[in-house]
Copies of this chain bind each other. A is one copy, B any other.
């Protein structure tokens, strides 16, 4: 995944168009590379994205006028995924616990938290971003409410616990990406065991307040 296609002269001769095809391929490579790189280090230099994508820096700047816009794009992608997952969990007919657990699982697998909250400090949010974030917030609240209403989680769990729990899980990280996912699954399972209703000890402090979560995504 280092630098394969863009530099070899005769490789894969015009399977698709020519220059335009490369451009479209580069588009995808860059998106993917940016996701990978910034997922593992939100403050990574833009050159490492170019390196990972196997393209030059100009290819990057041709598409995104600045690093900030690239990050905003990635963040928006993450928020959209967040919304999707919440909507799926709210679909009628699902087992409440399965819906809730599936929501968390999806959030962890897509590393939505890293894509949104971790990136949030590194650029100024656009109105669109705020809009998406507000939407994600509302839907997430609804998911938690639905689950609590069905008594499918311990009653002392609050909405604002979720970002913190996701923060915990996204701190799990080893060099290998797939192994990281596997490990996160392990500790998510542990977490889910603790969240199931049943004889459990009382939680010793109130859940995070909105302000403590950084209110990066104020509901405004």
Contact = CB atoms under 8 A, between A and B. Distances in A.
Given A168-B168, A170-B171, A171-B171, A204 B189 contact: yes
Given A193-B194, A200-B193, A167 B171 contact: yes
B193 A168 contact: no
A44 interface: no
A186 interface: yes
Contact of A201 (B179, B187, B193, B200): B193
Contacts of A176: 212
A177 interface: no
Interface string A168-212: 111110111001001101110111111100001111111110001
Interface of A: 164-165, 167-172, 174-176, 179, 182-183, 185-187, 189-195, 200-208, 212
Given A174-B208, A182-B204, A183-B212, 12 more contacts: A164-B183, A164-B187, A167-B171, A168-B168, A170-B171, A179-B212, A186-B203, A189-B202, A192-B201, A193-B194, A193-B200, A193-B201
Ranked nearest first, the 3 interchain pairs of A and B with the lowest CB-CB distance are A171-B171, A194-B194, A168-B168
